[in-house]
Structure 1
Amino acid sequence: MAGAFAALPGVVADDDGVIQHAGGPWAEQRALAAGRAVVPRADRVVIEVAGADRLTWLDSITSQALGSLAPGESTELLVLDPQGRVEHAAAVLDDGASTWLIADRGDAAGLAKWLTMMRFRAAVTVAVRDDLAVVGAMRGGVAADRLVGAALRGGDLPLVWADPWERVSPGGWQYARAEEHPGADYAFLEALVDDAGEASLVDLDVAGALAAEALRIAAWRPRWAAEVDERSLPHESDWLRSAVHLDKGCYRGQETVAKVHNLGHPPRRLALLHLDGSENVLPARGDAVLLEDEEVGQVTSAAHHHELGPIALAILSRRAPEDAALVVRHDDAAIAAAQEIIVPGDAGRTAEVPRLTRLSRRRPAEA
């Protein structure tokens, strides 16, 4: 849908119609963080799953426990392949009649197709709702209050998803050992709005994707469009924190999730990189992260943060030393990077497995 925000003066959008900024990315970050601004989310797509079996069906095929999800409760799910690698990700909100999924635009068509293929005899329908838009804001300010008022209603409930990243979800697990996890302050909301609802918000301060991404990166929050590649396990980006229920029943990929968490270590780990800003250059997704001359990982997201300066999320080899100074290679530039550990190298192996006494192979004594 054509967004009402796109017609505002000073707004700069990319070729996909995603508003990048409205004239001042750093000021927009501060306004968004303070709850004064809304952020149009043209890079997010709404999928409606309806039908009597919707919650038990989604529970059976995804990483999250959804069978008893209450109306108005927010969570998120992952779809994994048989080897436990991330294929799809979505925010989840139920209104008592439909379950609403919000997915990154590049993932939405594939997720909707896969869900449709998996219906079999379940009493469910799957529909991409291109007639709806997504608008975000931080909870605790005028923007969030207006967002709730503008949101589409599901019965008596405003369709507003609250990002669960603020805390460890029931059945989840956090690998990060930070005393104060930055996600605790990431009180992000996304509302489903129609044309009229979106138009009612255009008098508020507007933040673009650059501002929203900077706050997300600073909160160590993974997303499908950035942190997921063909090898991604949810453990590597600490996604067990909010998107995986470790105690639920069987689903595709569960065996790998349990095995890595209980007995092994994820082969890669997410880290926040504090970048040298002297060259005023930001790396791009996929840029190599080097330890001396050896590639030990890749950048997944990068931004200029209004307080932290230039930062990036990077997926690194588990064996990359946690105290090593790194370099990010961007075109001809070499950007010095200091690590802040998110997922430690020894993450996993949480089960207390008793060690068996090794049986002796000595020959019996001669008589």
Structure 2
Amino acid sequence: MKSPLLQTPGAVPADAPDQEVAAHYGEPSQEQRALADGKAFVDRSNRGVVKVSGPDRLSWLHSLLSQHLDGLKPFEPTEALLLGPNGHIEHHLFLIDDGEAVWAHVEPGASVPLAEFLDRMRFMLRVEVEDVSDAYAVITTPAGPDDSETLTWPDVAGTVTRIVPRGEFPQELRPAGIWAYEALRIAEHRPRSGVDTDHRTIPHEAGYVETAVHLNKGCYRGQETVARVHNLGRPPRRLVFLHLDGSVDRLPAHGDPVEIPGGRTVGFTGSAARHHELGPVALALVKRNVPVDAELLAGGVAAAQEVVVSPETGANAQIDLRRRPAKRG
């Protein structure tokens, strides 16, 4: 469903998977600064929204997802993963319960398969699953004074992400394109499922153990893989942040190989953007044993890596997810 804001003068559609919203509205650098300064909002209405209602909703989702959800308090935002049988990430959910239903927003195109899977797993439990993406949408805005009992999650650079009725946009703020949001997200080392991950990614590799996995809950699909890596360590890959060569007039594309000079491929590029202060940056998944000080090439662009997920993650070690603190104001 294409955003009506694509009709705004100067709006340029983004590339997949965000082609239904604007990359920018003609001033990408200014839009990014305005978002970081609390003076803009981002239309992310291409994301899917799923609603789960019924008295058994929390205990049921607790049994399926990676997060501890049984007893989740109303309007307490959290994250969770739906894993495959072998522990590979299938869906990354941002969750909140309003006292009557759990609301989740997910990646573009993910709401239909997620709702279908959940519906198949209801059995005789008192739950109802709805894909409500036609009626509700996701936007990112500055935080407000009355966010405590709303469908709101803390997000990049002091912003919050909200579920609102579709087509409802703040009139007092300028729109910023998805490029602005993505640049701030990358700079804060926040991976995006399906962009910075692939079909083989397990939670430890991308740092989701810190935000979306509870290590001391009961069984759920894929839990054996999480427990094994936690106890034994050595996940195959790790997420890295890349400072890209600013003298090059292009960004590496999603999926471009990450190489050690000499031509050996050691990973792939996830998302890349031009940050208004840091310059060109990217996230990538590389093999765990790549030296942390190795110079890399991402799609042929020289890159210096910054550790996000430690090579020593797991093995009952302290999870060392080096997330860059959000800059406010």
Structure 2 vs 1, CA of residues 312 and 2 (structure 1 numbering), >3 Å: closer, same or farther? closer
2:11 corresponds in structure 1 to: 11
Structure 2 vs 1, CA of residues 188 and 83 (structure 1 numbering), >3 Å: closer, same or farther? farther
State the distance in 2 between where 1:210 and 1:8 align: 16
Structure 2 vs 1, CA of residues 157 and 267 (structure 1 numbering), >3 Å: closer, same or farther? same
Matches within 5 A, 1:178-217: 186-195=157-166, 197-198=168-169, 201-217=170-186
Q: Which amino acid aligns with 2:37?
A: A
CA contact (8 A) 1:81 1:252 kept: yes
Structure 2 vs 1, CA of residues 222 and 188 (structure 1 numbering), >3 Å: closer, same or farther? farther
Question: How big is the alpha-carbon RMSD for the aligned residues of Structure 1 and Structure 2?
Answer: 2.0
Instruction: Say whether residues 1:341 and 2:307 are aligned partners.
Output: yes
Q: Which amino acid aligns with 1:84?
A: G
How far residue 2 of structure 1 moved from its aligned partner, in angstroms, is 5.7
1:362 corresponds in structure 2 to: none
Matches within 5 A, 1:24-173: 24-129=27-132, 130-139=134-143, 144=144, 157-163=149-155
Instruction: Say whether residues 1:281 and 2:285 are aligned partners.
Output: no
CA contact (8 A) 1:80 1:86 kept: yes
Q: Which amino acid aligns with 1:87?
A: E
State the distance in 1 between where 2:171 and 2:252 align: 32
How far residue 113 of structure 1 moved from its aligned partner, in angstroms, is 1.2
How far residue 285 of structure 1 moved from its aligned partner, in angstroms, is 0.8
CA contact (8 A) 1:106 1:225 kept: no
State the distance in 2 between where 1:162 and 1:127 align: 24
5+ residue gaps, structure 1, are: 149-155, 164-184, 353-367
1:319 corresponds in structure 2 to: 289
How far residue 197 of structure 1 moved from its aligned partner, in angstroms, is 3.2
Structure 2 vs 1, CA of residues 344 and 196 (structure 1 numbering), >3 Å: closer, same or farther? closer
- What is the TM-score of this pair, normalised by structure 2? 0.90
How far residue 280 of structure 1 moved from its aligned partner, in angstroms, is 1.1
How far residue 8 of structure 1 moved from its aligned partner, in angstroms, is 2.6
State the distance in 2 between where 1:321 and 1:3 align: 43
State the distance in 1 between where 2:57 and 2:157 align: 29
Max Rg structure: 1
State the distance in 2 between where 1:80 and 1:225 align: 13
Q: Deviation per CA, 1:62-89, whole angstroms, max 9, x where unpaired?
A: 0001111111110011001121110111
Q: Which amino acid aligns with 1:53?
A: D
Structure 2 vs 1, CA of residues 348 and 196 (structure 1 numbering), >3 Å: closer, same or farther? closer
Q: Deviation per CA, 1:112-147, whole angstroms, max 9, x where unpaired?
A: 1111111111111111111111111243xxxx469x
User: What secondary structure is seen at the aligned counterpart in 2 of 1:157?
Assistant: coil
User: What secondary structure is seen at the aligned counterpart in 1 of 2:110?
Assistant: helix
Q: Which amino acid aligns with 1:346?
A: E
Structure 2 residue aligned with 1:244, among 186, 210, 213? 213
Structure 2 residue aligned with 1:304, among 259, 271, 274? 274
Structure 1 residue aligned with 2:190, among 221, 241, 265? 221
How far residue 351 of structure 1 moved from its aligned partner, in angstroms, is 6.5
Q: Which amino acid aligns with 1:57?
A: W
How far residue 14 of structure 1 moved from its aligned partner, in angstroms, is 3.9
- What is the TM-score of this pair, normalised by structure 1? 0.81
Greater CA deviation, 272-281 or 105-114? 105-114
How far residue 20 of structure 1 moved from its aligned partner, in angstroms, is 0.8
* Structure with the bigger percentage of helix: 1
State the distance in 2 between where 1:351 and 1:281 align: 38
How far residue 196 of structure 1 moved from its aligned partner, in angstroms, is 6.3
Q: Deviation per CA, 1:244-281, whole angstroms, max 9, x where unpaired?
A: 01111111111110110121211100000111021211
State the distance in 2 between where 1:196 and 1:286 align: 33
